[in-house]
């Protein structure tokens, strides 16, 4: 997940901002950071959305 993608993401439930916690990342040829593993946390909902193999999973969680 590119940082430019992260910047346009919001919580699917409350549409609030997501806080990114990076576990593993790489840097693309253009210098942009690409998150491989991490979590997107919504403070308001208290939910963590996983980023796995570069793909953010923003499905609402029960
Ligand atoms: Zn939320």
Sheet with 47-52, strands from edge to edge, namely: 19-27, 33-42, 47-52, 55-56
CA of 19 to the centre of ligand 1 (A): 10
Q: Which pLDDT score, from 0 to 100, does residue 25 have?
A: 98
Domain definitions of the chain by residue range: 3-56
pLDDT band at 62 (very low <50, low <70, confident <90, very high): low
CA of 53 to the centre of ligand 1 (A): 23
Q: Which pLDDT score, from 0 to 100, does residue 60 have?
A: 79
CA of 10 to the centre of ligand 1 (A): 8
pLDDT tens profile 9-61: 999 999 999 999 999 999 999 999 999 999 999 999 999 999 999 999 999 76
Cβ–Cβ < 8 Å for 40, 18: yes
CA of 34 to the centre of ligand 1 (A): 23
Q: Which pLDDT score, from 0 to 100, does residue 1 have?
A: 97
């Amino acid at each position: 997940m590119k940082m430019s993608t992260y910047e346009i993401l919001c919580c699917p439930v409350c549409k609030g901002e997501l806080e990114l916690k990076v576990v593993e990342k790489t840097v693309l040829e253009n210098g942009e950071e690409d998150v491989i593993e991490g979590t997107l946390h919504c403070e308001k909902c208290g939910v963590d959305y996983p980023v796995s193999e570069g793909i953010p999973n923003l499905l609402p969680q029960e």
